Chains A and B, each alone.
Chain A
Amino acid sequence: MFSTRNFNRSKPVLFILILFPSLLWAYQFVTGNLGVNPIEKLMDELGLMALRLIIITLMITTLSNIKPLKSIVVIRRMIGLFAFYYVCLHFSTYIVLDHFLDIQFIIQDIIKRPFITFGFISFLFLIPLASTSTNNMIKRLGFKLWKKIHYLIYPVAILASMHFYVLVRADKTEPVIYMGIIILLLLHRIFKRLTRPQLAQ
């Protein structure tokens, strides 16, 4: 049931499912159905979606350790690229709709405000991940180097959740849940390494 073939077959459905929210929000934005403060709403939804997708890519790796689910990794690249897609939309909403390309102001904002700094660095770290996500790139870089680059997903996830945590004014439950999940997934990886030293060599 959880064969590579079946996971590959599910890709077109997943593609549409994950793409759909962005199309819906764009449509709602254009038609004025995104509430009283549509730019804020758009930015929040896009950002939250991106963070969730980042966490899902980490989860996929963990799940693939379970024997019958080994093949799930074949959908990881698509989810990761969608995370990048949503981060790009989130960031361009901030640049274009929120601040109208006022580059000078945006640079100040990124430097001065920790939560924007976290978000921006997280975005920058995602760029090498997204741009090395083809089979050809893995071949060119060699798997070892490619894997090293892709460890960047850890700072990306941590920074993205901190970006959310600092933004919230009082009730931090939701960002704390995301941080908790990320920490658990990282702890699992560390545990795995420590218990299988011969594989690390």
Chain B
Amino acid sequence: MKILGSEITPYKTYLNRRKFIKGSLASAMLATVTSSAFANHDSDLSIYTNNLNEKDKLNSYEEITTYNNFYEFGTHKKHPHLNSGNFKPRPWTIKIDGLVKKPQTFDLEKILSNVTIEDRVYRLRCVEAWSMVIPWQGFQLSELIKMAEPLSSAKYVQFVTVFRPEEMPGQQKRTIIWPYREGLRMDEAMNPLTILATGLYGHEMPNQNGAPIRLVVPWKYGFKSIKSIVEIRFLDTQPETSWETLAPWEYGFYANVNPNVNHPRWSQGTERRIGEFKRRETLMFNGYEEEVAHLYKDLDLTKFY
């Protein structure tokens, strides 16, 4: 399980990240330059590749930032890249409410000054049966949950994406019910694999990938990893989630990667790794079985898909 990559970021890279955060104006200007110019990473790739399983290869910055789903910018996989130029990820706040000691709104900068940014190289498996390997930077969600001080009655966490139809053209059309919502069970949220990502390949999170802060839950289908989060709510009942609301017969609350439970429109047994010609077998819990299988030992995964 080498891909885990939970090693702490080398100090040099960490400094680079802080510089990126401070220079948000500069990087906003940089973002208008073409993506190929933007892909000149200053960091040494071996930071990431050292954490790779021998069967996995990093996907390129270009692949990760030009092909993904983010319906807020349009339903085609090239739309997030093409339509996210006007999105302004700074300044940013996250509202914490629900079953917490004290509901409050955190400034993102304040959150970032209280956490440790790490590199995490994770596989990402989309429910549409394609996958990538992505070097994220971020911190464990559990760190933010500790800051939020939830009550013991809190059993679930709900996340809400920002709603800005003027900056997110996809939201001008009611393809799904905005704002996008997702949720996790508390033990899933506290699992060390679950992170809030603020960057990839050492860059600040690109707009199209969920700037400035997004969830990454690597053992679940990609749609669980909600982007551009503005609100986190602690609840005692299972929250409703966007895709489950839209098509409950297709998407469940859990949405764990599971080659044995098929989606009605895609077989989940195999996947196409972006950049590879032949399909590969999909792994149980996307290959993170060791870390997360215990969370579901009493759950019928064919029912709670």
Contacts and interface: CB of A to CB of B under 8 A. Distances in A.
Interface of A: 35-37, 39-40, 97-100, 105, 108-109, 112-115, 166-171
Contacts of A112: 262, 267
Given A99-B279, A170-B75, A171-B75, A37 B274 contact: yes
Given A105-B270, A166-B265, 9 more contacts: A35-B66, A36-B274, A37-B272, A105-B267, A114-B265, A170-B71, A170-B75, A170-B175, A170-B176
Interface string B52-78: 000000000011001100010001011
B144 to A, nearest CB: 29
A36 B276 CA distance: 10
Nearest to B170: A171
Nearest to A174: B75
Given A36-B63, A37-B272, A169-B75, A115 B130 contact: no
B173 A171 contact: yes
Interface residues of B, number: 27
B264 interface: yes
Contacts of A97: 277
B267 A100 contact: no
Interface in B260-275: 262, 264-267, 269-270, 272, 274-275
A82 to B, nearest CB: 26
Nearest 9 interchain pairs by C-beta: A36-B67, A170-B175, A171-B175, A171-B75, A36-B63, A170-B176, A36-B274, A115-B265, A170-B75
A113 B63 contact: no
Interface in B67-96: 67, 71, 75, 77-78
B265 A37 contact: no
B293 interface: no
21 contacts: A35-B66, A35-B78, A36-B62, A36-B67, A36-B77, A36-B274, A37-B67, A37-B77, A37-B272, A37-B274, A39-B277, A97-B277, A105-B267, A113-B266, A115-B265, A167-B265, A168-B75, A169-B75, A170-B71, A171-B71, A171-B173
Interface of A is mostly: helix
A99 B277 CA distance: 10
B79 to A, nearest CB: 10
Contacts of B278: 100
Interface string B142-163: 0000000000000000000000
Contacts of B277: 39, 97
A188 to B, nearest CB: 30
A36 B75 contact: no
B175 A40 contact: no
B246 interface: yes
Nearest to B78: A35
A114 B250 CA distance: 13
Given A113-B267, A114-B264, A37 B75 contact: no
B66 A36 contact: yes
A184 B265 CA distance: 28
Contacts of B269: 105
Interface in B207-250: 246
Contacts of B78: 35
Nearest to B263: A113
Nearest to B132: A36
Contacts of A105: 267, 269-270
